[in-house]
Structure 1
Amino acid sequence: MLSDADREFIRRDPQIPGLSFALDERSIADWISENWDDIDRQSVTSTFIRYKPGRSCLVSFRAEQHGLPLSFAVKCFGHSAVEKWKRLQTHVKHRRGQGQPPIIHPSMSVIAFQRHDDPQLRSLRRLAYRHGERKLLRELLPDSPEHWPARITELRYNPERRFVGKLTAKLGPVGVLKCYSKPRFDAVMRTGDHRSLHTLGASTQHHAIVWPWVEGHTLGDLLRSGTATEMDIERTAVVLARLHAEPSTLYRTNTSHGQLNRIRSLAHNLNHLVPELSARMCSLLPVLERQLTSQPERTSMIHGDFHADQVVLSDDHATLIDFDNLSIGCPHSDVASWIAHLEWLAVAGELEPNSVDRCIKAFVSAYRESPIDTHPAEITPHLAIARLLLIDRPFRLRLPNWPQKMLHLIDRIERDVLPSTRAPRIRPDGGLSKGRSPQPISPDPAMPMLSEALDPRSMTEYLRTSSPALSDELGNFDVESVRVVKHKPGRRCLIEYALRSSVSSTIARRRSLLGKVRAKGLDKHSYSIQQALWNTGFDDLASDGISVPRTLGTIPDLHMWLQEKVPGQVVTELVGRVEGLSLAPRIAEALQKLHETNVPTSRCWSFDDELAILTKSLPVVAEKHPSLSGTVYEILEGCHDAVANMSDHPACGIHRDFHPDQILVDGDRLWLVDLDLYSQGHPAIDIGNFCGHMLESAVRNEHGCSILNDFEEIFRQDVVMRMPTLNTDDIHHCTTLTLARLIILSSQYPTRRAYTPRIVTATHQFQRSRTTPSCLR
């Protein structure tokens, strides 16, 4: 029977027509009973879900057939996977072999198949009959005829991914058979050389491996039964530490960066399940990335998927098993994985919660006695990653109230990673407190509309009527809170709105958006430019990973237009690290895309406009700093010379305020923001603006100036390579104009005035020598 949360999730993904059918155990039980022989309807139970938004959903089931256990899967396909669905239908049509055939529901694009008809694990066909089992074992174990008569019993079956079976001969278990999908088999075979990878036999034709049997009980089984001792846990820690201390002889790596990418992908999928959870996961990623990069780099051989079921204990020793993910990586990730899985056993009700802390303390204490250099603080980000990778388990295992369980898990992670974070208080009726009172700001006579723009109740009504897209996605929503991001009295105000929609009693959804208010009226130009860019290849699914935020409507009465708030970290926070240098070519690519897209606009920005600003304001700087007066006027004269020497170049659409604060990095995606000044102009203006900001930032950041200078140089060289029609002298001239403008800004802001003399000196040197200022070398 479908829960309210299931129905809400199904409603959000209309692209998969068979979703409600595949998730309904009762409907599936009736369907397979009509098509397969002797199915016990009451025994049909779903065990886990694998979901790809808009494309497919696979549900694994257990049942009884002829009084024996049966594993089967039901998979439904979305409209975007029509070719895969057609190929599968053709495969079923031409199927040969024994066992119950797959069944198809054509109108809903749904298929049900038993283990022996798994389309990705073709070797399982042999397991449909006894003769096939013997034939498979003869091919896998040609030198061990004593094992050919062994019976194969299922231990675990992950449809389309992996089958694990126990080989039992007359005298007992002799091995473990693993049948893999081709990509997974190839990955295991590419791991490298290590004693743990010793096998009894393997077949590239069948994508199958036979591993030795290890006698004993897994620590997981002992924990679930309540018979695990402190000694068992300590032995587990010691055997893991021994693995970490072994010399690295493997080829495969398992990096924290790769795990963060898996979390990004998971967050994208979860947007269809619990949208609030997806947003909160994305907000954690930059924090975790900063914590990881601030740690000393540690690498060793690691298990890669370590938990209590991956160690077998006998009377005198512990043995690690299941080395499918053996690789080179950070040893803390194995420790974190063990802890996270242990906590999960408590969440799932398989382990007493009060025993978890004791187990963790015993494990960590024993592990620290090993020669592996470790510190508790270094495990924290790895533990957050391990927990995040398990966060969709309540849904995948179809636990009751799965949205709430997932939100409880993210609450725990946020408390550990962000000590100041507090989860929102939920009232007994499932709702949240009403919108917070307006945020106070200084009175602004030029912007009287701000009183309404900062009132949650007023904005709720405005947004419901002005943004059909929000209403379509969130249904009946409210403004939960209002925050002024930036306010320039008499000119403009940027406001963040946190929205909340309770579509059902079991799932709360949140969304944040930004409202841009302009004193002199609605900025229709900026709105239309951003909307046009979104519609011409800058949307949130752009394959090159370069996007702009989606526009969400206008409120003319408030002089406001709306856009989605996007996740990410500003480039400014990343460029000061060596790892950030890899962003420079990506930013050059983003700028190239913006210029080549060339969205039409009636606004133009010329070098005469640039000179007008400098001619008006640089003399004011000279007056405030008499000792710099001569140099400032030389800079101004040099700017006039620079403009006079600019070459002709076709104008294109330019950002006009392109600098590191205008780019957000969200994993592999770059977001270009704040396009309010978008105009037709010389492309070198954007390039020089970015380079000038990087050099000025280096002047103010004495300790990190070398890296910032390197970043600017890589960016500039990459731009020149991408845009060969540009004259390098033009880029130098535009960089000079930007540095001169930044002299003006430094003199206007109290926090930057102390740097004005250094910026003047650097600009003068750059202008005259055409090389990096000596103060930055």
Structure 2
Amino acid sequence: MRRDGVLPGLATVLDPDALLAALAPALPTADVRAASVRYVRYKPHTNCLVAYRLDVAGAESQTMDIHAKVHRLDAPEKLGKARQRAPVPGRLGVGRIVLEDRGLVVWAFPNDLRLRTVRRLTDRHARARLLRRLVPDRPELWAGTLETLRYKPERRYVARLETASGAQAVLKVHAAPRYDRAAAGAAAFRSCPPLRVPRLLGRGDAEGIVALEWLTGRLLAAALADGAVALATVTAVGAALGELHSQRCSSLPTIEPGMEAAGLLDLAADLAFLCPDLARAAQDLAGRLAARLREPSPARCPIHGDFYAEQVLLDDAGVAIFDLDRAALGDPAADLGTFIAHLEREALHGGLPADRVPALREALLEGYRTVTRRPPPPGVDFYTAVGLFRIAPEPFRGREPDWPERIAAVLARANVAALAAS
């Protein structure tokens, strides 16, 4: 990271001990025992955001979330925006810290520059007022309490709303411009055997929030990790995806091939900076994949847009597919390939036996065929390569100790899939 000289606070924001030392003068009364990195989002020469979980001492040990973002020193307007926002104090005693000499801003949850609604959700009275407008026909939810499920600072916040009576819902807050697409996806599909999807309960466009039905079940990803998934279960997942692809959803946005291709090339540039030894391989592979992405798609239908085992629930009622935030009209092979790409990644990282992947792949495609009554769309291998390329940076984003080697392994597997597709 020393090569990125325009971000003087980068070394601080990526090092938990260095960050705590830098924050100590601004937190004289806080007893922070440790900090652990949860997530990194880095754009070389532009900015880097790191989400942390702090272990804070008190009457009883407790954790809290913060996120730190470093900017270029020649972009003072970024720090200016942060200073203009009045934060709410949290357990640290402050809600926002600006270290101007490092171009660094630190926000304590629930403060978030782009997800302003999160602050309202964490205040009991403000949340009740918001829920009355969001779900006016569901008064049983108005007094619900929140449990955070997922939080990507400046992008998305997901929580479970639960009441003493047992009523539940999911609340999702999105930053603009992602909200419009997420809201469209939430409203686009309907449950129809063999598919279940969460019903949209309400939306607040001004607040960037949707309320969705809470679905019960076990994540397919957890079942796969335990080795507890029969091939017939994955066949049922393929059938559910086939039903999703068969529905009519004209309100969804259409995927733009040019933007998809540009995204791969941008990602290749980022990977080249992170791993100079992989620069040529990453940029060559991205160039080949981008060239094919620009070609006209043979078929378009409603697709999930980010389909893998973390987006699937299993229970006696059947297969549920959720997190439809990136749903769009696109190539159906993209969902199938993305799902298989994640299986391949898990096998590379030891989360799944490698010899299990081919059988899981065939089970998925067999289930898909039973509903669509036609062969799987061409391009599954190609989109497996695209999917692997897109998730290649994840080891760095999760700050895994051996992230360079893991990135190299995923890129090599993506190249194998690309060659199989050519």
**TM score, norm. by length of structure 1:** 0.49
Kindly indicate whether the alpha-carbon contact (under 8 Å) linking 1:58 and 1:73 is maintained by their aligned counterparts in 2: yes
Q: Which has more helix, going by share of residues?
A: 1
Which residue is equivalent to 1:138? Answer: 132
1:155 aligns with 2:149: yes
- 1:161-310 map, 5 Å: 161-172=155-166, 174-190=168-184, 193-195=188-190, 198-289=199-290, 291=292, 297-310=298-311
Q: CA deviation at 1:295?
A: 8.2
Alignment map for 1:372-771 (pairs within 5 Å): 373-374=374-375, 378-418=379-419
Inter-partner Cα distance in structure 1 for 2:28 and 2:333:
48
Q: Is the 8 A contact 1:384 1:413 kept in 2?
A: yes
Q: What is the one-letter code of the residue matched to 1:75?
A: K
Aligned position for 1:103: 97
Percent identity between the two aligned chains: 28
| Matched residue, 2:111 | 117
Map Cα deviations across residues 305-364 of structure 1 (whole Å, 9 max, x no partner). 111111111113111111111111010000011111222233444334443333223222
Code of the aligned partner of 2:19: I
Secondary structure of 1:254's counterpart equals coil
Gaps of 5+ in 1: 1-9, 422-777
- In the other structure, the counterpart of 2:5 is 14
Residues 675-727 of structure 1, C-alpha deviation per residue, up to 9 Å, x if partnerless?
Answer: xxxxxxxxxxxxxxxxxxxxxxxxxxxxxxxxxxxxxxxxxxxxxxxxxxxxx
| Offset from partner CA, 1:575-624 (integer Å, 9 cap, x none) | xxxxxxxxxxxxxxxxxxxxxxxxxxxxxxxxxxxxxxxxxxxxxxxxxx
The 3 A distance-change label for structure 1 pair 363 and 31 is: same
> Would the aligned equivalents of 1:252 and 1:328 in 2 still touch at CA under 8 Å?
yes
- Structure 2 CA distance for aligned equivalents of residues 83 and 304 of structure 1: 34
* One-letter identity of the residue aligned with 1:41: R
Q: Residue in 2 aligned with 1:41?
A: 33
**Structure number, greater radius of gyration:** 1
Task: Name the structure 1 match of 2:81.
Answer: 87
For the pair 1:23 / 2:14, whether they are aligned, the reply is: yes
Deviation, 1:378, is: 2.4
Instruction: Give TM-score, length-normalised by structure 2.
Output: 0.88
The residue number in structure 2 matching 1:538 is: none
Structure 1 residue matching 2:298: 3-state secondary structure = coil
SS of residue paired to 1:48: strand
- Specify the alignment match of 1:536 in structure 2: none
SS of 1:143's equivalent in the other structure is: coil
* Distance of 2:202 and 2:296 partners within structure 1: 41
Q: 1:70 to 1:258 in 2, by over 3 A?
A: same
Letter in 1 for 2:77: E
Aligned-partner Cα distance in 2 for 1:357–1:198 = 34
Q: Following the alignment from structure 1 to structure 2, what is the Cα–Cα distance between the partners of residues 245 and 193?
A: 12
**Counterpart-to-counterpart distance in 2, 1:245 and 1:77:** 45
Match of 1:253, SS state, is coil
Amino acid paired to 1:361? E
Aligned-pair CA distance for 1:234? 1.4
Residues 257 and 294 of structure 2 are in contact (CA less than 8 Å); yes or no, is this contact kept in structure 1? no
Q: Answer 1 or 2: higher relative contact order, Cα 8 Å, separation at least 6.
A: 2
Q: Any conservation in 2 of the 1:168–1:174 contact (CA below 8 Å)? A: yes
SS across alignment from 2:371: coil
Which SS does the other structure have where 1:11 is aligned? coil
Distance 1:315 1:128 in 2: 34
CA distance in 1, matches of 2:200, 2:274: 41
Q: CA deviation at 1:407?
A: 1.6
Inter-partner Cα distance in structure 2 for 1:11 and 1:117: 30
Contact kept, 8 Å, 1:140 with 1:210, in 2: the verdict is yes
Match of 1:53 in 2: 44
| Alignment RMSD (CA, Å) | 2.7
- Secondary structure at the residue paired with 1:200? strand
Consecutive unaligned residues in structure 2, runs of 5 or more: 191-196
C-alpha contact (below 8 Å) 2:41/2:397 kept by paired residues: yes
Q: How far apart, in 2, do the equivalents of 1:285 and 1:108 lie?
A: 34
How many Å separate the matches in 2 of 1:343 and 1:294? 26
Amino acid at match of 2:214: W
